[in-house]
Amino acid sequence: MPKQQAPGTAPPAAHRALRERAQKILDILEEMYRDARCSLHFADPFQLLVAAILSAQCTDKRVNEITPTLFSHYPTAEALAEAPLRNIEVIIRPTGLYRNKAMSLQGAARRIQEAFQGEVPRTVDQLLTLPGVGRKTAAVVLSNAFGIPAFPVDTHVNRVVNRLGLVHSKDPVKIEKALTELFPEERWGRLSHQFIQHGRTLCLARNPRCPECRLRPLCAYGRSSTAPKPPS
């Protein structure tokens, strides 16, 4: 009697094909975006944590314009924990949602002081105990501040990997799990930046530039697009 396929799992041939396509995508992205890196400016893990919290519903460019002033006044978790909340709000106002973000920043700084001896923690579970920190922010800090393998999934990563057909979910947790199973862990952080850069330059939310994209032959969305293919 033939062996039954486990419910919800892809047939071995389909899984091998997906892995082979993922490797090709990995190689092309490396050629396209060799210099991809975190676009937030930071000098230490605490500064990156603050910048990542501020980046919610705000561009990295705007965050980078604000953080030098914020860090000149409050360079450490201890300083930010003791700062007047109103002062923080005034500085970060241009990032949007500034009242909630100010409370998150100060709450995170105080917890770092009280629970982690003034040091930004180095595990997902510990980072998630900080106000304003979700899985994406935790992954950003781990991969960029500490070099610990993690795969940040933002809106660009979500859009690009779904269009490529690497995953079929809009749930960031499910996307993270699928991508970490598909790609080698030493490439997780770098690949996240490459997906993000691709989403910002070619795989745009509106009017993606499919004819210019080298990934189009490997892309479920690009192959179905009615846009003309680039000349050979």
Q: Model confidence over 161-191: pLDDT tens digits?
A: 999 999 999 999 999 999 999 999 999 999 9
Query: Taking 60 as the threshold, does the pLDDT of residue 230 lie above it?
Result: no
pLDDT at 226: 60
Query: Taking 50 as the threshold, does the pLDDT of residue 7 lie above it?
Result: no
Compute CA 9 distance to the chain's CA centroid, rounded to the nearest angstrom. Answer: 27
- Compute the C-alpha angle 179/140/207, nearest 5°: 65
pLDDT at 57: 93
Query: Taking 70 as the threshold, does the pLDDT of residue 47 lie above it?
Result: yes
pLDDT at 12: 78
CA 192 – CA 16 distance, rounded (Å): 22
Q: H-type helices in the chain, by residue range?
A: 12-32, 45-54, 60-73, 77-82, 85-92, 98-115, 124-127, 135-145, 155-164, 172-182, 188-201, 220-224
pLDDT at 10: 56
Q: What is the mean pLDDT of the chain?
A: 92
Compute CA 163 distance to the chain's CA centroid, rounded to the nearest angstrom. Answer: 17
pLDDT at 6: 42
Query: Taking 80 as the threshold, does the pLDDT of residue 65 lie above it?
Result: yes
Query: Taking 80 as the threshold, does the pLDDT of residue 232 lie above it?
Result: no
Burial of 41 (0-12, 13-18, 19+ CB in 10 A): middle
Query: Taking 60 as the threshold, does the pLDDT of residue 116 lie above it?
Result: yes
pLDDT at 224: 84
Which amino acid is it at 40?
Answer: L
Query: Taking 70 as the threshold, does the pLDDT of residue 3 lie above it?
Result: no
Residue 154 a catalytic site member? yes
CA 218 – CA 198 distance, rounded (Å): 14
pLDDT at 14: 83
Q: Please compute the mean of the pLDDT values over residues 88-99 and round it to a whole number.
A: 97
Check whether 58 is labelled as a binding-site residue.
no
Q: Please compute the mean of the pLDDT values over residues 199-221 and round it to a whole number.
A: 96
pLDDT band at residue 223 under the 50/70/90 scheme: confident
pLDDT at 94: 97
Angle, helices 60-73 vs 45-54, to 10°: value is 130
Reference 112, options 124, 97, 130; nearest CA is 130
Marked catalytic residue, from 24, 35, 125, 136: 136
The string of pLDDT tens digits covering residues 11-42 is 678 889 999 999 999 999 999 999 999 999 99
Share of the chain above pLDDT 70, in %: 92
Q: Please compute the mean of the pLDDT values over residues 66-95 and round it to a whole number.
A: 97
Check whether 210 is labelled as a binding-site residue.
yes
CATH of domain 152-223: 1.10.1670.10
Task: Give the residue extent of every domain in the chain.
Answer: 45-145, 152-223
Share of the chain above pLDDT 90, in %: 88
Which residues does 162 contact at the CB level (< 8 Å), separation at least 6? 168, 169, 170, 175, 221
Marked catalytic residue, from 154, 171, 174, 229: 154
Which DSSP letter does residue 130 get?
Answer: S
Q: Please compute the mean of the pLDDT values over residues 133-145 and round it to a whole number.
A: 97
3-state secondary structure of 91: helix
CA 48 – CA 199 distance, rounded (Å): 22
Does the domain at 45-145 match CATH 1.10.340.30? Answer given as yes
